[in-house]
Chains A and B, each alone.
Chain A
Amino acid sequence: MVVRSARGHGDPGESGTGQGYGDEQRERVGFFTDTSVCIGCKACEVACKEWNSVPEDGLDFTAMSFDNSVGLGADTWRHVAFVEQRRPLGHQDAGVGRPAPVDLGMPSTELPGAYTGVEEREEFRWLMASDVCKHCTSAACLDVCPTGSLFRTEFGTVVVQQDICNGCGYCVSACPYGVIDRREDDGRAWKCTMCYDRIGDGMEPACAKACPTDSIQFGNLDELRERAARRLEDLHGAGVSSARLYGEDPGDGVGGNAAFFLLLDEPEVYGMPPDPVVTTRDLPSMWAHAGLAAAALLVGSAAAFAGRRR
Chain B
Amino acid sequence: MSTSDVTREGVRGQRPGRDAVTGSARVVGEGQRRRHGGRRGGPTRVPDAEFRSYYGRPVLNQVVWEASDIGGYLFLGGLAGASSVLAAGAELTGRDAMARPLKYTALAAISGSVVALVHDLGRPERFLNMLRVVKPTSPMSVGTWILTAYGPLAGVAAVTAATGWFPRIGRAATLGAAAVGPLVATYTAPLVCDTAVPSWHEGYRYMPFLFAASASAAAGGAGLVASPLGQSGPARRAAVGGALVETAVSTAMEHRMGLAGEPYRLGTAGVFVRAAKALTLAGAAGAVLGRRSRAVSALSGAALLAGSACTRLGVFHAGKQSAADPKYTVVPQRRRMAERAAEPAAEQEARAEAAGRTAGRAGSGGAGGGAAGA
Partners in one complex: yes
The answer to whether A289 touches B130 (Cβ under 8 A) is: no
| Cα-based distance from A309 to B237 in the complex (angstroms) | 12
> Which residues of B sit under 8 angstroms from A97, Cβ to Cβ?
6
Known A-B contacts A87-B370, A297-B215; the reply to A268 vs B121 at CB < 8 A is no
B186 contacts A by Cβ under 8 Å: yes
B197 contacts A by Cβ under 8 Å: yes
Chain B interface residue count, CB cutoff 8 Å, equals 112
Q: What is the distance, in angstroms, from A191's C-beta to the closest C-beta of chain B?
A: 10
A54 contacts B by Cβ under 8 Å: no
> Which residues of B sit under 8 angstroms from A98, Cβ to Cβ?
2, 4, 6, 11
| Cα-based distance from A289 to B57 in the complex (angstroms) | 33
Dominant SS among interface residues on chain B = helix
| Cα-based distance from A251 to B141 in the complex (angstroms) | 28
Interface string of A128-140 (1 = CB under 8 A from B): 0000000000001
| Cα-based distance from A162 to B140 in the complex (angstroms) | 19
The answer to whether B190 touches A242 (Cβ under 8 A) is: no
B306 contacts A by Cβ under 8 Å: no
> Which residues of B sit under 8 angstroms from A275, Cβ to Cβ?
333-334, 336-337
Shortest Cβ distance from A289 into B: residue: B208
Among B46-94, those with CB < 8 Å from A are: 51-55, 57-65, 81-82, 85-86, 89-90, 92-93
Contact of B52 among A99, A165, A266 (CB under 8 A): A266
A203 contacts B by Cβ under 8 Å: no
> Which residues of A sit under 8 angstroms from B144, Cβ to Cβ?
146
Binds B, one of A193-201, A214-222, A280-288: A280-288
Binds B, one of A21-29, A34-42, A107-115, A166-174: A166-174
Known A-B contacts A140-B196, A290-B190; the reply to A274 vs B212 at CB < 8 A is no
| Cα-based distance from A35 to B124 in the complex (angstroms) | 41
Shortest Cβ distance from A286 into B: residue: B190
> Which residues of A sit under 8 angstroms from B230, Cβ to Cβ?
310
| Cα-based distance from A164 to B121 in the complex (angstroms) | 13
Shortest Cβ distance from A187 into B: residue: B122
A302 contacts B by Cβ under 8 Å: yes
Shortest Cβ distance from A185 into B: residue: B122
> Which residues of B sit under 8 angstroms from A266, Cβ to Cβ?
52, 365, 368-369, 372
The answer to whether B57 touches A287 (Cβ under 8 A) is: no
Shortest Cβ distance from B200 into A: residue: A173
Q: What is the distance, in angstroms, from B283's C-beta to the closest C-beta of chain A?
A: 16
> Which residues of A sit under 8 angstroms from B213, Cβ to Cβ?
297
A181 contacts B by Cβ under 8 Å: yes
| Cα-based distance from A144 to B201 in the complex (angstroms) | 14
| Cα-based distance from A25 to B21 in the complex (angstroms) | 48
Binds B, one of A3-11, A43-51, A204-212, A223-231: A3-11
Binds A, one of B162-170, B254-262, B269-277, B353-361: B353-361
The answer to whether B120 touches A264 (Cβ under 8 A) is: no
| Cα-based distance from A74 to B82 in the complex (angstroms) | 38
| Cα-based distance from A300 to B217 in the complex (angstroms) | 11
Known A-B contacts A3-B133, A147-B130; the reply to A307 vs B330 at CB < 8 A is no
Contact of A305 among B4, B25, B234 (CB under 8 A): B234
The answer to whether A307 touches B237 (Cβ under 8 A) is: yes
The answer to whether B122 touches A297 (Cβ under 8 A) is: no
| Cα-based distance from A37 to B14 in the complex (angstroms) | 35
The answer to whether B89 touches A304 (Cβ under 8 A) is: yes
Shortest Cβ distance from A189 into B: residue: B122
Interface string of A144-155 (1 = CB under 8 A from B): 111111000000
Contact of B361 among A67, A71, A89, A244 (CB under 8 A): A244
Known A-B contacts A168-B140, A249-B353, A305-B93; the reply to A290 vs B238 at CB < 8 A is no
> Which residues of B sit under 8 angstroms from A236, Cβ to Cβ?
364
The answer to whether A144 touches B140 (Cβ under 8 A) is: yes
Chain A interface residue count, CB cutoff 8 Å, equals 106
The answer to whether A3 touches B238 (Cβ under 8 A) is: no
The answer to whether B233 touches A310 (Cβ under 8 A) is: yes
Contact of B204 among A147, A268, A286, A301 (CB under 8 A): A286
The answer to whether B183 touches A178 (Cβ under 8 A) is: no
Shortest Cβ distance from B242 into A: residue: A300
Interface string of B182-195 (1 = CB under 8 A from A): 11011101100111
| Cα-based distance from A180 to B63 in the complex (angstroms) | 11
B136 contacts A by Cβ under 8 Å: yes
The answer to whether A293 touches B208 (Cβ under 8 A) is: yes
Known A-B contacts A143-B138, A268-B54, A304-B89; the reply to A1 vs B133 at CB < 8 A is yes
The answer to whether B64 touches A175 (Cβ under 8 A) is: no
The answer to whether A146 touches B85 (Cβ under 8 A) is: no
| Cα-based distance from A182 to B132 in the complex (angstroms) | 21
The answer to whether B122 touches A301 (Cβ under 8 A) is: no
The answer to whether B53 touches A268 (Cβ under 8 A) is: yes
B40 contacts A by Cβ under 8 Å: no
Known A-B contacts A251-B353, A304-B89; the reply to A86 vs B22 at CB < 8 A is yes
| Cα-based distance from A4 to B343 in the complex (angstroms) | 37
> Which residues of A sit under 8 angstroms from B201, Cβ to Cβ?
279, 282
Interface string of B116-131 (1 = CB under 8 A from A): 0000111110110111
A52 contacts B by Cβ under 8 Å: no
> Which residues of A sit under 8 angstroms from B152, Cβ to Cβ?
none
Interface string of A78-90 (1 = CB under 8 A from B): 0001011111110
Interface string of B332-374 (1 = CB under 8 A from A): 0110110000000000000101100100110011111110100
| Cα-based distance from A285 to B201 in the complex (angstroms) | 12
The answer to whether A279 touches B194 (Cβ under 8 A) is: yes
Contact of B329 among A70, A143, A169, A273 (CB under 8 A): A273
Q: What is the distance, in angstroms, from B71's C-beta to the closest C-beta of chain A?
A: 14
26 contacts between A and B (CB under 8 A): A1-B132, A67-B55, A86-B22, A99-B14, A127-B23, A145-B138, A146-B141, A148-B132, A167-B121, A168-B121, A169-B121, A175-B196, A265-B368, A269-B23, A271-B53, A274-B333, A286-B204, A289-B207, A290-B187, A290-B208, A293-B212, A294-B212, A295-B182, A297-B216, A301-B234, A309-B233
Q: Which 8 A-B pairs have the closest CB atoms?
A: A167-B122, A187-B122, A242-B368, A271-B54, A293-B208, A166-B126, A294-B182, A251-B353
